[in-house]
Amino acid sequence: MTDDIFYSTITELNTRLLAREFSAVELTQAFAERLGALGPRYNALALPLTKEALKSAKVVDADLKRERFRGPLQGIPFGAKDLLSVAGQITTWGAKPYASQKFDYTATALTKLEQTGALLIGKLAMVELAGGGGYRITGASYFGPGKTPWNTDYWSGGSSSGSGSAVAAGLVPFALGSETSGSILTPAAFCGVTGLRPTYGLVSRYGAMALSWTLDKIGPLCRSAEDCGHVLQTIAGGDFKDPGSAGKGFYYTPEYHREWKELRIGYAPVDFSDWADERARPAFQEALNVFRRIGVTLVETKLPDFPYGAMTGTIVAVEGASIFEPLVASGEVDQLADPKQAAGFREALKIPAKDYLRAMRIRTLAQQEFRKLYSDLDAILAPSRFGPSSNISDPLDGRGPEIPKDRPPGMTALIPAGNLMGMPALSLPCGFAAGLPVAVQLCGMPFSENLLLSLGKEFQARTDWHRKRPPVG
């Protein structure tokens, strides 16, 4: 096997597995060794699960020998954010107070992957408690600051930090992450991989750490939009164990996309001319041009005017503080690596119910306005993050562009807005700024994943940013 396998897509690996170029055991061994050797370099590895994966790989090889095919993920190794439980294994949620925590059940998303023959080779590092207390340092993790493989002085993004860097460095072909407000899109953008935040309720959260019952989503970080489609098809579906489950499945059908010329994609020119980091503007402009060449109609638009940041901040703070109230009461919250997080959880317990309910009622108003907005649009295109990653020693308070009150904000609030509305989003690598990856996102109506993935696949057929390899060595 050559190094090429570490940067192959799921489809490519599956083709070679079926052609018997290598066995599932050999593939698993190769990725597990690489994850064990290089994972610590990026603070990406939480827990290796090599022994268990190799045992399952033998079963996959036996199935393949008997021509029992279970789909494109059969025999493909992968990693999962350490907020997903695996029965009998340590699940830290990235936080010292939970360093020895074990559950006796496995997360539904992982069970579904296991049933299709995918092989979990390790749990991946994350920001402690998914950053729910409001983290201000990159080192807010039991595993240390996540580092992007493009330059280890720079942050991988969070909170699915290990999922982003492990896929980027070719340590796993794909990984599961989670998003409450930006935790898939940010590491996908900063690590140069393709990330999909599914519609709220499409993927079961059973067995995942809860931070915000009304915002949490589980989704994949992969090498391509097509790979995201394959993984989503496997992990999506109704689950009575998840009260937020939409009871819907997902079938990846990129071949049935609508004519590109029929599609209307909203964007805000000010994002590309003013709010994006100057170093990233050429890459974002070129991404816009690629979509023009695809043939979609780009339509100037703006988000309905709501205080999205304040809404998300209030909802995550209150729901998270309720979930982690025992941690605060025990005093163990002070073991978190970032004291700002401990303070955030403590103070959030004092937020009045009227503020939380006001945020949730405004959320209803915003949903109504988004329905109107999308009656004329199929998706919104914007930078995933408005610039490249920051140095790991920089504080995180000042993330994002400063928008003067008299200027149009463009799509700078699309991450909190999209999460509040339960909308799916796909992050696509689109170039580099200062040697670090940057990306654009497509955000669509709930359950429009096939549309986003089809567009993403077409974008990636015309570009090769998703194929770039970091200097891993």
Partner 1 sequence: MKLTRRTVLASALPALAVAQTPPVPAAPDYLAISTAQYKRNAEALAKVAVPVETEPAFHFKP
Catalytic residue ranges = 81, 159, 183
Token code pair at residue 416 = 């909190």
70 binds partner 1 (CB under 8 A): no
Q: Are 165 and 156 in contact (CB under 8 A)?
A: yes
Distance CA 204, CA 382 (A): 27
- Helix residue ranges per DSSP H, 19-125: 24-38, 50-65, 108-115
Distance CA 36, CA 16 (A): 24
**CB within 8 A of 84, min separation 6: which ones?**
91, 107, 109, 110, 123, 176, 178, 207, 208, 218
- Helix residue ranges per DSSP H, 295-447: 308-323, 325-330, 339-348, 353-374, 414-420
Residue 261: exposure state from Cβ atoms within 10 A (0-12, 13-18, ≥19): exposed
Choice between 225 and 359, CB closer to partner 1: 359
Choice between 358 and 469, CB closer to partner 1: 358
229 binds partner 1 (CB under 8 A): no
Q: Beta strand pairing status for 151-155 and 147-148?
A: antiparallel
Token code pair at residue 18 = 């079926």
The count of other CB atoms within 10 Å of the CB of residue 112 is 20
445 binds partner 1 (CB under 8 A): yes
Q: Which of 12, 286, 355, 394 binds partner 1 (CB under 8 A)?
A: 355
- Among the listed ranges 43-51, 294-302, 337-345, 464-472, the one in contact with partner 1 (CB under 8 A) is 337-345
Sign, CA torsion 255/261/265/269: positive
- Among the listed ranges 171-179, 290-298, 343-351, 404-412, the one in contact with partner 1 (CB under 8 A) is 343-351
- Residues listed for the chain: 473
346 binds partner 1 (CB under 8 A): yes
Choice between 116 and 450, CB closer to partner 1: 450
329 binds partner 1 (CB under 8 A): no
Q: Which of 95, 411, 421, 442 binds partner 1 (CB under 8 A)?
A: 421
- Among the listed ranges 21-29, 226-234, 275-283, 338-346, the one in contact with partner 1 (CB under 8 A) is 338-346
Residue 397: exposure state from Cβ atoms within 10 A (0-12, 13-18, ≥19): exposed
299 binds partner 1 (CB under 8 A): no
403 binds partner 1 (CB under 8 A): no
250 binds partner 1 (CB under 8 A): no
Binders of partner 1: how many residues, by CB under 8 A?
42
Distance CA 210, CA 215 (A): 9
365 binds partner 1 (CB under 8 A): yes
Q: Which of 367, 373, 434, 468 binds partner 1 (CB under 8 A)?
A: 367
Token code pair at residue 283 = 């890459």
Q: In angstroms, what is the minimal distance from the CB of 457 to partner 1?
A: 23
Strand partners, 58: none
- Among the listed ranges 38-46, 145-153, 308-316, 381-389, the one in contact with partner 1 (CB under 8 A) is 308-316
Q: Are 140 and 127 in contact (CB under 8 A)?
A: yes
- Among the listed ranges 147-155, 258-266, 340-348, 450-458, the one in contact with partner 1 (CB under 8 A) is 340-348
418 binds partner 1 (CB under 8 A): no
393 binds partner 1 (CB under 8 A): no
68 binds partner 1 (CB under 8 A): no
Binding mask 133-172 for partner 1 (x = CB under 8 A): xx--------------------------------------
What is the DSSP annotation of 107-144? -HHHHHHHHTT-EEEEEE---GGGGTTT--STT-STT-
Binding site for partner 1 (CB under 8 A): 133-134, 199-201, 214, 246, 306-307, 309-311, 313-314, 317, 339-340, 342-344, 346-348, 350-352, 355, 357-365, 367, 421-422, 445-447
